[in-house]
Amino acid sequence: MAKVKTKFQCTECGYEAPKWYGKCPGCQSWNSMIEETETVVKTQGRNSPLFDSKDKPLPIIDIDSGQEPRVQTGIGELNRVLGGGIVPGSLVLVGGDPGIGKSTLMLQTSHALTHSGLRVLYVSGEESVKQTKLRADRLGALSPELYVLCETNMERVEEAVEQIQPHFLVIDSIQTVYLPEVTSAPGSVAQVRECTSRFMRIAKGRGIATVLVGHVTKEGAIAGPRMLEHMVDCVLYFEGERHHTYRLLRAVKNRFGSTNEIGIFEMGEDGLREVGNPSELFLSERPLGVAGSTVVASMEGTRPLLVELQALISATHFPSPRRMATGIDHHRLNLIIAVLEKRMGMFLQTQDAYLNVAGGVRLDEPAVDLAVAISIASSLRDVPTKPDDVIFGEIGLTGEVRAVSRAEQRVKEAEKLGFKRVILPEKSLKGWKHPRGIQLIGVNTVADALAVALD
């Protein structure tokens, strides 16, 4: 028996309520609650459409665990993030800020896949066919196997899929697609949920690799219900500062690979270009002999990345000093400042502290702690660090320097770029063969590291 159910749901966070609120109780957004109606059909047992009598439980040891077949996208950085290529029948969600380059990446990927003999359907709900063609002319993404459709009606998109029979499908964007039988507006929680469910059936039923481009909220999360990220196989975020040319592609969910890898691109006039040696690129404009500047070796997945950290300590004119960080968590900055004050006796209560990761990169791992501490001390004392030093290590609350993983890869990357000395945790020196072309100095405390770096 079917019945109609009315509810109110927030377009920002997906909070559901039986009545309308001017301000969402979940995310505190104003006027984000919309009314939705849905038909509820009660099904049980074998009458359920999800029940297939042919499916039988199997012992897990009898299930074939062969590797999923993958298709190379023609873009090495995208293959790295996806775990080696795109899997046929997978459903991928790509999110990012407006103008960051999501459509450019998808159009370049579509063109690259046509060189492998694949047929691609690119559905745009935000740009006309002529606008897409102008973008393709600029990118050089012209191929007879690349089909473009400007449509937002889900039923017509399904008709086009039936007609073209593509191997790869791009929907740009999922918030513009709507189902006529769903009464709410395009982009609402109900529309996004139902359309994504349809695309999931297309991807799984026909074996078509499908990519959905998604909008993001003002907080940076993908707009729509949280269920959207649970339904897809892979969630990618395309990140970067609008005033920098670098773009980072990061996976936050991947059923077919690791979520630790990142892809690095550079935005140019002819589209996105892969960055083969990101460390060299990020350090190309590094000033030498300047207080507050250090080089840190960070790991992004299996890739070592050398970037410059810049700290500026200046006297404050306000009762409460400012603590600002770009590229790392500002809570981590406060923790490191507290350790320097308590364990090293540095008086920072009357000093503003500003920290920046050059190049617009965001570093999340604790191995950057030691470089942050040395940058702050260098700026406070106005003593520059040596330009040939690379620093990494995690700092504990007692002032000790703790071991970090993959020290060998970090050191080899520093040696490859011509650095002469690495300051690292003492415990990270064990268990691997040290290269001869670079000096390794192990430290146990922050005091030891400062004595070496600022001697």
Q: Which residues are annotated as a binding site for ATP?
A: 96-103
Residue 403 to residue 159: CA distance in whole angstroms: 57
Contact 175, 186 (CB under 8 A): yes
The helix/strand/coil state of 306 is strand
- Cα–Cα distance list, 314 to 292, 333, 341 (Å): 11, 15, 16
Name the β-bridge partners of 313: 353
Q: How far apart are CA 273 and CA 103, in angstroms?
A: 14
How many Å apart are CA 410 and CA 279, to the nearest integer?
A: 11
Q: What are the φ/ψ torsions at residue 236 (nearest 5 degrees)?
A: -115, 140
Bind-site residues: 96-103
Report how far apart, in Å, the C-alpha atoms of 293 and of each of 126, 204, 379, 390, 434 are.
43, 51, 8, 11, 26
Distance CA 365, CA 25 (A): 33
Nearest to 417 by CA among 397, 441, 387: 387
